[in-house]
Amino acid sequence: MGVEKIAVANHAKESCWPLGDEGYSICENPDCDVIYFTTSGSRLLRKSDVKTRVTFKEKNDPRPLCYCKQVTEEDVIKAIENGARTFEEVRLATGIGGRGQCTITNPAGRCCSRNYKPFIEKELKKYGRGGSNGIMMVNK
């Protein structure tokens, strides 16, 4: 998936500059240590070349979910453990989402909601909570 140069420049360590004129994509394989690669494949930026933790590349905490508001998976879990019962309650407790700067703050250069919404729903289900209207769910 292509990533705007401003996102790559924001997350690449200065030692990797200049980035050149070629377009970049993000490697979405969680087991690969490459974060960005050029269209031709002539340039790779690895985890060690990037300043920001990339959620799907990280195995250890903290794992970022919302880069604009600096919310992690651990923050979401804590909100649910502290009583949040719906997506909206998790959003209110953590502040996740809504700043709209994802194309710059998220290393993938796209809206973080595609990652945090499913994660929140999955975690709510683990606790027998969730649903779009706040009705408790029963896990069988």
% the chain with pLDDT above 70? 93
- What pLDDT, on a 0 to 100 scale, did the predictor assign at position 1? 82
19 and 62 inside one domain = no
Question: CATH number for the domain including 45?
Answer: 2.20.25.270
Q: What is the mean pLDDT of residues 101-113?
A: 92
Domain with 7, as residue range(s), is: 1-51
Q: CA Rg, the chain, in Å?
A: 17
94 and 128 inside one domain = yes
Q: Are 71 and 65 in contact (CB under 8 A)?
A: yes
- What pLDDT, on a 0 to 100 scale, did the predictor assign at position 131? 60
Number of domains within the chain = 2
Q: Are 112 and 67 in contact (CB under 8 A)?
A: yes
* Higher pLDDT, residue 91 or 99: 91
40 and 88 inside one domain = no
35 and 77 inside one domain = no
Q: Tens digits of per-residue pLDDT, 7-63?
A: 999 999 999 999 999 999 999 999 999 999 999 999 999 999 999 999 999 999 999
Q: Tell me the residue ranges of DSSP E strands in the chain.
A: 2-3, 24-26, 34-38, 44-46, 64-66, 71-72
Question: Rounded to an integer, what distance in angstroms lies between the CA atom of residue 34 and that of residue 63?
Answer: 17
